[in-house]
Copies of this chain bind each other. A is one copy, B any other.
Amino acid sequence: MLEKIDLEYRTKRNTYDKRIDGLKYELSILEQKLKKAGLPVIIIFEGWGASGKGRMISKLINNLDPRGFKVYSNKLPEDYERRRPFLWRYWTEIPEYGKISVLDRSWYQDVFTERIESGLSDEETMKRAESIKAMERQLTDDGYLIIKFFLHISQKEQKKRFDKLDSDKDTEWRVTEKDRKRNREYDRYYKAFDEMLERTDTRRIPWHVISGEDKLGMRLEVFKTVIDSVNKAIADAEKKKSVSGVKVMIDILSEYKLIKMPVLSDIMLNNSLQKAEYKSRLKGLQDELSDLHNRLYRKKVPVIICYEGWDAAGKGGNIRRVTAAMDPRGYEVIPIASPSTEELSHHYLWRFWKHLPKTGHIAIFDRTWYGRVMVERIEGLCSEEEWKRAYREINEFERDLTDWGAVVIKFWLQIDKDEQLRRFQDRENTPEKRWKITDEDWRNREKWDKYEEAVNDMLKYTSTETAPWHIIESQDKRYGRISALEIIIDEIKKHV
C-alpha cells in the first residue's frame, strides 16, 4: 500500500486555508455528536519514527474538548506491562462510550516492530495477529469505531528529521541509536510495514496511509477522515445490521476443539467425605499447593481460577480452602459484583482485562465474565445478539490467556435445588449468616430452569481444550473442596 503514496506531492497553502476552518469547525462539534450517540472512538496513529505523529495528534486534539478524549502514548512495553498479555495495556486504554482514545502507536507495534526487533517467531506472530483481529472485531461488534492512520515518509526525509533533532541539545535525546539503525534498515521496515498494512486493511477497519511530508495535506486528510468516519458510524449505528449470534454459536463448534460436557441433570451428587478423612486430605493438598505456589512464582507462570456456581453452592468456603495454602503476596481474590457505572460504559470484557494478574501470580475470580451468558442473558441485561456472540468472545479471551502462558481453571460448583433451599433456610435462620441471603437470591431461585439451560449452553460452547470446565460436586462441601484443590494441583503441575 505504501507505494501508492506520492511523497512528492505538496498541498498548496491556499487550498489549505480554504478548507481548514470548515474542518476545524466540524471537529469542534464532533464530540457533542458522539457523546449524544454514545459512540466510542479509537484513533490510532502508526508510522515511521519522526513522521510527525506527535505533532499531528497535537493539531487534532487542539480542536477537541479535553473532557471528551484521552491520548495514550504507547512505547515498547515496560517490565510490568510485559508481565501481562500483550493486549492488556490496550484493553485498559479503550474509551468509554461516547468518548475518544487517541493512540500514539498501538497493538500493531507489538506484532510488527517486535517481530523485527525482538525476533518474534512466525508462530507467535500469527497468534498475535489473530488476537488483534479478534479484539478489533469484538470492539467493532460492540459499537466501537476504530480509525487507523499510518504516516509515511521517505528514508531520506527521516534522516533529515533525525539530523535536525540531533542538532539541538533539548531534542537530541529523542533520537536514539535504535532510531538511526531503523533509518539505515529502512527497506526492511518498509517491507514489514507494507505487509502489516496489507494484511490488516479490512473493509470494516481500513488503513488511511498519509504522506507525512505534505504537512498541510496531512492535516486536512486526517481531520476529514476523522469527521467522515464518525459521521458515517453514527449514521450506520441507526440502521445497524447485527451479526447473527446463532451463526457464531455454530461456528464455535468447528473453530475450537471443544470438550464434550455432561448436562447438569446428569451429574450425580452422591459423593461425600467424612470429617477425619477430609481434614487429613485437606492438610496434604494445602501443603502441596503451597509448594506449587512457590514454584510457579519462581517460574513466572500466571494462574487464573474461575469460580461459578449456584447461589449458596459454597464458592466462598471453597475459595478459602484454596487461599489458606497460599502466600497473600502472590494471589488475589477478585469478587465480581454487578458492574459499576464506569464498567457499564465500556465493553463488558474491559473490567476483566483490567484485573489480570502478573506472571507468577494467581487470580481467583469469584464469579466471572460468564455472567454475560448467565445473569445478563436471563435478566435481559444484554441483547440476545450480544450473549450469543459472547461465547466466541469468551473463547477468544481465554485463548489470549492461555497463549500468554496462563493456567486457566474453570469451576462450576454444582448442587441440587433441594440442597440450595436447605442452605438458604439455614442462612435465614442463622443471624450472622443472614446478610448472605437476599431477595435477589430467592428471585434467582425461581428461575432455576432458565439458569440450568444457560449453564448447559455455557458448558457446551466454552469448554475448550486449553480452558476446559470442571464440574465440582458441591452437595457435600468437603468433597467439593477436596475436588477443587486436586484439580488445581493437577493443572498447575502440568505447567511447572
Residue numbers of A with Cβ under 8 A of B are: 25, 28-29, 32, 54-55, 57-58, 61-62, 65-67, 70-71, 73, 78-80, 102, 104, 168, 170-171, 173-174, 291, 294-295, 297-298, 316, 319-320, 323-324, 326-329, 332-335, 337, 340-342, 366, 432, 435
Q: Which residues of B contact A366 (CB under 8 A)?
A: 66-67
Question: Which chain B residues lie closer than 8 Å to A104 at the CB level?
Answer: 328-329
Say whether B58 contacts A323, CB under 8 Å.
yes
A298 in complex: contacting residue of B173, B333, B334, CB < 8 Å: B173
Contact of A329 among B70, B71, B342 (CB under 8 A): B71
Q: For chain A, what secondary structure do more than half of its interface residues adopt (helix, strand, loop), or is it mixed?
A: helix
Whole-angstrom distance between the alpha carbons of A316 and B65 in the complex? 8
Closest-by-CB residue of B relative to A325 is B58
Q: Are B337 and A340 in contact (CB under 8 A)?
A: no
Give Cα A83–Cα B82 distance, bound, in whole angstroms.
Answer: 19
Q: Out of B29, B55, B170, B319, name the residue touching A432 (CB < 8 Å).
A: B29
B328 & A54 in contact (Cβ 8 Å cutoff): yes
Additional pairs, 18, CB under 8 Å, beyond known A55-B327, A58-B327, A62-B323: A25-B432, A28-B432, A54-B329, A57-B328, A58-B323, A66-B319, A66-B334, A71-B329, A73-B328, A78-B79, A78-B80, A104-B328, A170-B295, A173-B298, A174-B294, A340-B341, A340-B342, A342-B342
Copies in the complex: 2
A-B pairs, 8 with minimum CB distance: A66-B333, A73-B329, A170-B294, A67-B335, A57-B328, A170-B295, A54-B327, A71-B328
Q: Once bound together, how far apart are the Cα atoms of A58 and B323, in whole Å?
A: 8
A387 to chain B, nearest CB (A): 25
